[in-house]
């Protein structure tokens, strides 16, 4: 993605002086983290790029001037709100019949997502078999079934904080396992 163009936006009367430079600087320093943040929430790299772009544009037009630190916080808040809007729209679209099985499927994958090939899914299963049951089951319930950690917490009596740890543990383990297989 290109940095937001200062030329375009300085032409816009709504952009306060000096703002374009500040936003360009934010882009240079934090764009990767912003897109990563959004991609995690939206489960789509392409949508994350779009939302990030939109957030920069809104930031350029923001009336209240602020220190650079403020601006950074604004950028993430705007982006997070835009992401919530997207998810909301998507969840309306996604009340489709397949949700009988994946009942909390808030984040229906968008077409740009590279699905795992069958062989990779098999490797994930192999990696999961190496983990304790209470770890692999939470991972599959959350990441594959799309069940919320809060709901699993209510059902199992394990805190969502602990469940989050287990999901992360399993994810890191699978990633490592797949990387090891790939380099073999």
Partner 1 sequence: MKAVDSEPERLQQAAMWWARLSDKHRVASADEIAAWLDWAAEDQANADAFERVRALASGLAAADDAARRSLVAEFAVRPRRRQVARAFALAACVAVLALAGGHAFKRLAMAPTLAPQSQHYATTVGVHRDIALPDGSQVALGADSQLETRFGADQRQLQLQRGEAFFEVARETRSFVVDAGPLQVRALGTAFNVRRTGPRVTVSVTHGRVRIAPTEAAAGAGGAMEAVAGQRVSYDPLQGRFEVSRVEVDRMLGWRNDRLEFIDEPLDLVLADINRYSPRPLRGTEPTLARLRFTGTVRPSQLEGWLAALPDILPLRVEAGPDEVVVHATE
Q: Could you write out the DSSP letters of every residue in 140-167?
A: IIIIIS---HHHHHHHH---HHHHHHHH
**Which of residues 21 and 134 has its CB atom nearest to partner 1 in the complex?**
134
Helix 160-182 crosses helix 118-129 at what angle (to 10 degrees)? 120
**Which of residues 53 and 148 has its CB atom nearest to partner 1 in the complex?**
148
**Which of residues 6 and 143 has its CB atom nearest to partner 1 in the complex?**
143
CA 67 to chain centre: 27
Burial of 148 (0-12, 13-18, 19+ CB in 10 A): middle
**Which of residues 5 and 77 has its CB atom nearest to partner 1 in the complex?**
77
**Which of residues 25 and 43 has its CB atom nearest to partner 1 in the complex?**
43
**Least distance in angstroms from the C-beta of 158 to partner 1:** 8
Burial of 80 (0-12, 13-18, 19+ CB in 10 A): middle
**Least distance in angstroms from the C-beta of 4 to partner 1:** 18
Place of tokens 């699978």: 174
**Least distance in angstroms from the C-beta of 104 to partner 1:** 9
How is the chain split among helix, strand and coil, in percent rounded to 5?
A: 70, 0, 30
**Least distance in angstroms from the C-beta of 24 to partner 1:** 17
Phi and psi torsions of 56, nearest 5°? -60, -45
**Least distance in angstroms from the C-beta of 142 to partner 1:** 8
Which stretches of the chain bind partner 1, using CB under 8 A? 29-30, 32-33, 36-37, 39-41, 43-44, 72-73, 76-77, 80, 87, 98, 101-102, 106-107, 109, 113-116, 118, 120-121, 124-125, 128, 131-137, 139-141, 143-146, 148-150, 157, 162, 164-176, 178-179
């Amino acid at each position: 993605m290109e940095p937001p163009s200062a030329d375009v936006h300085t032409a816009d009367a709504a952009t306060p002086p000096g703002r374009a430079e500040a936003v360009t600087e934010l882009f240079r320093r934090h764009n990767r983290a912003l897109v990563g943040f959004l991609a995690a929430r939206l489960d789509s790299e392409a949508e994350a790029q779009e939302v990030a772009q939109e957030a920069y544009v809104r930031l350029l037009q923001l009336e209240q001037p602020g220190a650079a630190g403020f601006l950074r916080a604004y950028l993430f808040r705007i982006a997070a709100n835009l992401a919530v809007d997207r998810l909301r729209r998507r969840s309306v679209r996604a009340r489709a019949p397949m949700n009988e099985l994946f009942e909390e499927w808030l984040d229906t994958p968008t077409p740009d997502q590279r699905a795992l090939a069958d062989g990779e899914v098999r490797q994930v299963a192999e990696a999961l078999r190496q983990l304790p049951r209470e770890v692999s089951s939470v991972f599959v319930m959350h990441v594959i079934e799309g069940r919320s950690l809060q709901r699993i917490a209510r059902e199992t009596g394990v805190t969502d904080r602990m469940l989050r740890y287990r999901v992360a543990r399993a994810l890191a383990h699978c990633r490592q396992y797949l990387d090891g297989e790939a380099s073999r």
